[in-house]
Chains A and B, each alone.
Chain A
Amino acid sequence: MSRRAGLWWSIALIALALAAPFLFYPVFVMRALCLALFACAFDLLLGYVGLLSFGHAAFYGGAAYVTAHCVKVWGFPPELGIVAGAAAAALLGSVFGWLAIRRQGIYFAMITLALAQMVAFFALQAPFTGGEDGIQAVPRGRLLGLIDLNHPLAMYYFVLAMFVVGFAIVRRAVNSPFGQVITAIRENEPRAVSLGYRAERYKLLAFVLSAALAGLAGATKCLVLQFAALSDVDWTTSGEVVLMTLVGGVGTPLGPVVGAFVIVTMENYLAQAGSWVTVIEGLIFIVCVLTFRRGIVGVIAPCLTGRAAAPPAPEPSPP
């Protein structure tokens, strides 16, 4: 029964994803999809390894800058530009991770924040990033030399494909022996080590994977909006992804996606309602944390699919 309900939900969501550009404004959905992928990448680290990174904007924004520069200045085709962006984020992630995973909790968060601030400062001062102006007017180009991405529908399905690939990688990683090991490390690191697992290596690998996927999201976003700007690497973006993940539901498959759509919708539609965006965002965050700590999906999904309430998701380790 519950499996059947889950199947219907999957069909509805896939239908919605395919029909979305006809129902909603495509650029808005594309931006939300990019941020949803970003939140999924972040949740891989927070929900399954229990590490709260406060510097993920460095990978998201860093990749956006690399892609923008490759595509605009060096004339890369879009697919290579995205690969370059994600690769740069993975490289950056391996350096950050190598330094940061030695600590946990608040120290881990502060190290990642400090490193990300260095990236933000670099983006502000380096000559090729254009300072506060960012890199503007990035061409979308032709995918594989064939498909013109300037067409909104082509761009939308390309972004959707990027999202599905990233989402699938996260799910595959979580539901694999590797995923079991990182969950074990989250639950009890000394015990995992005593069982013979090299915890540091697993954590580093998860960190790099998370960084690369965040980079994939940032690189795709850069092609959607056609610019890379300072706000992408700003610490507020790191904060926003934490917000999205917590509101949606930490450690749930669809939680980060739902959270991202909720936050982006608020940002976009409340903007036209006046000066209340940040206040309302804050209130929603407080309500979520106080009343349903497992996030929107963590609380609602069991009811909707007819499943008995899932075992309570573990509390994220206190930062």
Chain B
Amino acid sequence: MNGRFAAVLPAALLAAALLVAGGAGAQSPDAVRIGVLADMSSLYADLGGPGSTVAVQMAVDDFGGSVLGKKIEVVSADHQNKPDVASSIARQWFDEKGVQMITDLTTSSVALAVQEVARADNKVILVNGAASSDLTGKACAPTSVHWTYDTVSLANGTGAAVVKAGGDSWFFITADYAFGHALERDTTAVVEANGGKVLGAVNVPLNTADFSSFLLQAQQSKAKIIGLANAGGDAINSIKQAAEFGIVAGGQKLAGLLVFVSDVHSLGLQTAQGLQLTEAFYWDQDDKTRAWSKRFFDKTHKEPTMVQAGNYSATMHYLEAVKAAGSLDSAAVIKELKSKPIDDFIIRNGHIHDDGSLVHDMYLYEVKKPTESTAEWDLYKLIATIPGDQAFKRPRGNECPAVKG
């Protein structure tokens, strides 16, 4: 290389960096951006993931594509279930890309990390995927709403109903992270309040493939009910292996504390039949849910889960609140959201509490027997509707400073 050109390459590198940086910032300035931060590739991708982005886009299209005279854009990213990746993407979205609201947020540790970013930046997050009731409990934030479901409502739904039906002794198989522990804690409180007792629990690492030793412990506990405080792929694996171990045939019953319609579909009715579970939304509830779910099905070839439907509902209400408030200011939008009842074909009889929890009706379903089902996605029968004030009642009170006073 000639000495005269020794400086050219380094200079070219600098120039290239400038160009890249300049290009990255070149986004249309006056658009309202909504971020979908979800697990796109791992164990929760089926219940949220790309389907959530589709649902949010559907809400934006149904709303008309623009608000306050600005175009609405949907951006999405895969947080890979890592809170540090999620936190830095959320920061960048808020600080640089002009994202006004982030939704989905599967996995409790991710949602808790993003909630801290949103609190610092004073931005709105509407949590649909994560379950931990800590999001509206001790970690509650003024500009976040926990939309579709939380561990309290799951515990009240499945826990209370099963105890009332005679399942008064429990053993938990718990996913060993924030969500699993919260679910076990809340369900234990409900079971005990209804006169049942908890014989024991075993913690299982996230994303476990082999549940055999944990299932054997559950079998030996002689509990009538084995509560599965896990979700997604973990729930599927544990239910499948429980069927192989003949646990249900041996007289013990499974209670899925967080089982999604996508899980039941992939398990098949033969394996999952008789399982009782709580959901906020089921596609086959009435004509409106069927009509919307058909549109969703046409795009994704799957029926929507409650997380995906919840993303639609949250985005719709957010955009309506922006329109009504005439501003993108987080405090004004949240005030608007909290001022009105939340009632659409997905979330029924809802209103948002000061702690940020959206209180609404939940449903207890039982998985149909193969003989009862008439179609591929005909999976549930309704057992009971749980009114919001019962479903979201915290058995131990709320630690959120905003409501404790």
Contacts and interface: CB of A to CB of B under 8 A. Distances in A.
B40 interface: yes
Nearest to A12: B10
A268 B108 CA distance: 20
A16 B17 CA distance: 8
B247 interface: no
A54 B87 CA distance: 26
A127 interface: no
A306 B6 CA distance: 8
Given A25-B95, A131-B181, A132-B109, A271 B84 contact: no
A13 B13 CA distance: 9
Interface string B1-37: 1010011011101100110110010000000000000
B67 interface: no
A165 interface: no
A226 interface: yes
B45 A275 contact: yes
Contacts of A272: 75-78, 89
Chain A's interface size range is 35 or more
Nearest to B111: A133
Contacts of A23: 17-18, 20-21
B125 to A, nearest CB: 14
A42 interface: no
Contacts of A183: none
B11 A12 contact: yes
Contact of A226 (B50, B112, B116): B116
B177 A16 contact: no
B88 A225 contact: yes
Given A5-B6, A227-B83, A275 B50 contact: yes
A179 B40 CA distance: 45
Interface string B69-85: 00000011111101111
Interface stretch (A85-93, A229-237, A250-258, A311-319): A229-237
Contact of B83 (A4, A13, A15, A134): A134
Contacts of A13: 10
Interface string B227-243: 00000000000000000
B354 interface: no
Interface residues of B, number: 50
Contacts of B198: none
A227 B79 CA distance: 16
A164 interface: no
A272 B84 CA distance: 15
Contacts of A267: 80, 85
Interface string A263-306: 00001100110111110000000000000000000000000101
Contact of B109 (A4, A28, A134, A304): A134
Contacts of B82: 229, 231
Interface string A4-25: 1100110111011000001111
Contact of B113 (A12, A15, A227, A275): A227
Given A5-B1, A24-B21, A133-B109, A268 B85 contact: yes
Nearest to B86: A271
B53 to A, nearest CB: 9
Contacts of B89: 268, 271-272
A124 interface: yes
Contacts of A133: 108-109, 112, 134, 178
Interface of B: 1, 3, 6-7, 9-11, 13-14, 17-18, 20-21, 24, 40-41, 45, 49-50, 75-80, 82-85, 87-89, 91-92, 95-96, 108-109, 112-113, 116, 119, 134, 139, 176-179, 181, 206
18 contacts: A8-B6, A12-B13, A27-B88, A31-B88, A124-B177, A133-B108, A134-B83, A225-B84, A225-B87, A226-B87, A227-B116, A231-B82, A271-B89, A272-B75, A275-B41, A276-B41, A277-B41, A306-B6
